[in-house]
Chain A
């Protein structure tokens, strides 16, 4: 009995508690990211944004959630029912499970696995299924076109994301995300030597999360709302939350790979007083603000331009940079052992 307790029950309780400790702040963050997006874009367009529900409109996300929760779920005629309902759940789940390997502070990581970077890459490559399944199962041409566009777009940009990750990993010598941050502690943040890669990753991240200016899968001017067009109530809410959770994930990945994760900008007294997790959150917030800023500023890309950017600009550049990195490391003997 005691063995059952110490061997199985207690670890399970701890893991569940850790999962809640990750997911709960994340969900609150997601809710307030939707609020922040409306406020930021509002400010940039000289509007007020949400300001009625609660002080400064702070309860707006709750009101939106309650509204979506109470609406009726409509399943279109001729839709493949199971696939139609699995798709949003899949999108949302994938956006959450990837957080298992993100180190938010020294040692604060749910699963400190050796192939952390690959795990992140694998999970983000699965994200396309939620969208393509939704597009197909809706039995609607707008949704289907949105799904196909998104599949092509996400597969294209994943390739350059992969090369960017490999360049960074060459400088680390490990696939473990905590090791990635430790390598930046010893040297410098990878944004300094790999600045062009940071830009490529950020832009590819926008394309991966289907954010503006790459939100062609939604493209409301031509596809109404793309793959989401037939969704109502909670399934729609799951897509919506999944998109924002993916933004968080992308920002956290960039923070870990390029901005030194939980590290303070300088190893000096006033900076080292602040706990690592605060630095992590601050960096994520800066990147998220950039994403909102881009949405308020940039017009949507044309589809052929999107493909050109992915295949003819980012892919050759990141491949060339990978070779350059490998060459520099080999010649200077900085290759991590």
Chain B
């Protein structure tokens, strides 16, 4: 009973905050609601017994990705009213994307409901969850059977990162920068000199 109540709480807050993301007037509030939605989705993962995924969701999405979102949105100079124009022209595209996602979810749930023994025919089976923790189970799958896929997705992210750096990197001439090694190499003999200044004479 308690589990059901907690589930409805997490699910309700997730849906409500997702609605607020697209209806909030202020973009920063929208991002904050998005964070709330992520956080409650992590709660749903916990209820499903996927504690590792829940924590990773919080660490990666809430702790890192959303911070950068918030960072960017706060720094943007946005005209709130202009942002709300053209809602109707975006609506069909939005609905289409939503419909496709819904259909895909239905397919996943369908295959799960109607072909119960499908997971058994997969090459690498899900280990018995009663025996090992789910961090362990996930690690075994990722680092053994799906090792190449896992590495490939890592490489894709690396390429994306390098691409971003390449796009934004430009050499700016005339920037004053501290050369740390040079700074540390300075010593008393090379930088300080004591002179006897005769009165009225100057140096």
Contact = CB atoms under 8 A, between A and B. Distances in A.
Contacts of A114: 51, 133-135
A323 B134 CA distance: 24
Contact of A155 (B58, B67, B134): B67
A132 B64 CA distance: 13
Given A114-B133, A132-B70, A308-B180, A83 B55 contact: no
Contacts of A8: 2
A308 B29 CA distance: 32
B21 interface: no
Contacts of A144: 74
19 contacts: A80-B26, A83-B28, A83-B29, A114-B134, A119-B55, A121-B59, A125-B63, A128-B63, A129-B67, A132-B67, A132-B70, A132-B71, A136-B28, A148-B71, A148-B74, A148-B75, A151-B71, A162-B59, A175-B133
Contacts of B26: 80
B178 A304 contact: yes
A115 B51 contact: yes
The size bracket of the interface on B is: 20 to 34
B55 A122 contact: yes
Interface in A240-260: none
Given A8-B2, A133-B32, A125 B64 contact: yes
A162 B56 CA distance: 12
B37 interface: no
A165 to B, nearest CB: 11
B34 interface: no
A126 B62 contact: yes
B contact patch SS = helix
Contacts of A308: 180
Contacts of B178: 304
B7 interface: no
B63 A158 contact: yes
Interface residues of A, number: 27
A113 B46 CA distance: 11
Contacts of A132: 67, 70-71, 74
Interface in B45-67: 51-52, 55-56, 58-59, 62-64, 67
A118 interface: yes
Q: Select the residue from B2, B52, B55, B135 with max chain A CB neighbours within 10 A.
A: B55
Interface in A160-200: 162, 175
A136 B29 CA distance: 11
Contacts of A113: 51
A11 B135 CA distance: 28
B44 interface: no
Interface in B1-42: 2, 26, 28-29, 32, 35
A119 B59 CA distance: 9
Given A125-B63, A158-B63, A115 B71 contact: no
B163 to A, nearest CB: 19
A246 B196 CA distance: 54
Interface string B101-138: 00000000000000000000000000000000111000
Contacts of B134: 114
B166 to A, nearest CB: 18
A133 B33 CA distance: 12
B165 to A, nearest CB: 13
A273 B73 CA distance: 57
B135 A151 contact: no
Contacts of A128: 63, 67
